[in-house]
Amino acid sequence: MERPAWAPPGIDLSVPSVARMYDYYLGGSHNFEVDRTAARRAMEAFPGLPKIMQANRAFMRRAVRWAVAQGITQFLDIGSGIPTFGNVHEVALAAAPDARVLYVDNDPVAVAHSRAVLAGEQRAGIVNADFRSPKDVLASEEADRLLDLDRPVALLLVALLHFIPDEDRPLEVLADYRARLAPGSLLVLTHASVEGGPRTSEEGDAVMGVYRRSSSPLIMRDRAAVADFFGGFELVEPGLVSMPDWRPDGPTDEEDPVVYTGFAGVGRKA
């Protein structure tokens, strides 16, 4: 398989990447045929995935603007993926020119493309690290340059935790981050689920089967399990809800029912 010029060396082009599949859903160009094939299979198993991803991004943008309105100008976006239009630093800097954004991802294409997009932008940076290793994230040079952990930070885990299996102890890892964050910090997350949405558990099983052959298997969790991630954070209104229902910019009565798949919420550390 021919390797594009933008692709970092050493990438296994035989294994689909969840970051590159996400890029494909959003209409991006930084993906390979193996990613597109897997994404098309996932869309057959779970129709409407691109709209769900767009709803994820729209929620993220609303949450960032809301955080800035609360006086928070530091953002730690873990599992940030491949940059697309309206990414966190663009939204945050438009609302607060003094904002600082640290992206974190473990996908080499996402990291390389982020570095290219952020070239010359001193208010944002990217770290090649994994959520499961808080030390690699928070002790990095870029974290030291961009974040003041004595002040509130918005920790973004948007469409990330459903790729972290229970055996990797995501609750304990998240507790490590929470312990390092100042009071008033925010946790912003979305998570895949079939509970309360239009998709069946059989469709959920089918799409999880597709992702089992990717770089990161997908885990659907129920609402109670997603709520557990907010331990030590107080959910802000309207609580843990479907993505379009979290502080919408306008009426939501014309939304496609599929975007009510999964949960979104923002919590504040006391």
| pLDDT for the residue numbered 83 | 86
| pLDDT for the residue numbered 2 | 61
Q: Which domains does the chain have, with CATH numbers?
A: 50-199+218-269 (3.40.50.150)
The model's confidence at residue 215, banded by pLDDT at 50, 70 and 90, is confident
Residue 251 has pLDDT above 90, yes or no: no
The conformation of residue 215, written as its DSSP 8-state character, comes to S
| pLDDT for the residue numbered 1 | 53
Q: What value does the mean pLDDT of the chain take?
A: 94
| pLDDT for the residue numbered 62 | 98
Cβ atoms of 159 and 79 closer than 8 Å: yes
Rounded CA separation 249/64 (Å) = 13
Task: Give 152's contacts (C-beta < 8 A, 6+ positions apart).
Answer: 71, 72, 74, 181, 182, 183, 184, 185, 186, 269
Rounded CA separation 231/68 (Å) = 23
Task: Give 2's contacts (C-beta < 8 A, 6+ positions apart).
Answer: none
What is this structure's pTM? 0.94
Question: DSSP 3-state helix, strand, coil percentages of the chain (rounded to 5)?
Answer: 40, 15, 45
Could you report the per-residue pLDDT of 76-128, keeping only the tens digit for each? Answer: 999 999 988 889 999 999 999 999 999 999 999 899 989 999 999 999 999 99
Could you report the per-residue pLDDT of 41-80, keeping only the tens digit for each? Answer: 999 999 999 999 999 999 999 999 999 999 999 999 999 9
Residue 241 has pLDDT above 90, yes or no: yes
Given strand 124-128, what is the order of strands in its sheet? 124-128, 100-105, 74-78, 154-158, 186-191, 263-269, 233-235
Q: Among 52-56, 166-170, 253-257, whose mean pLDDT is lowest?
A: 253-257
Could you report the per-residue pLDDT of 2-37, keeping only the tens digit for each? Answer: 667 777 777 788 899 999 999 999 999 889 999 999
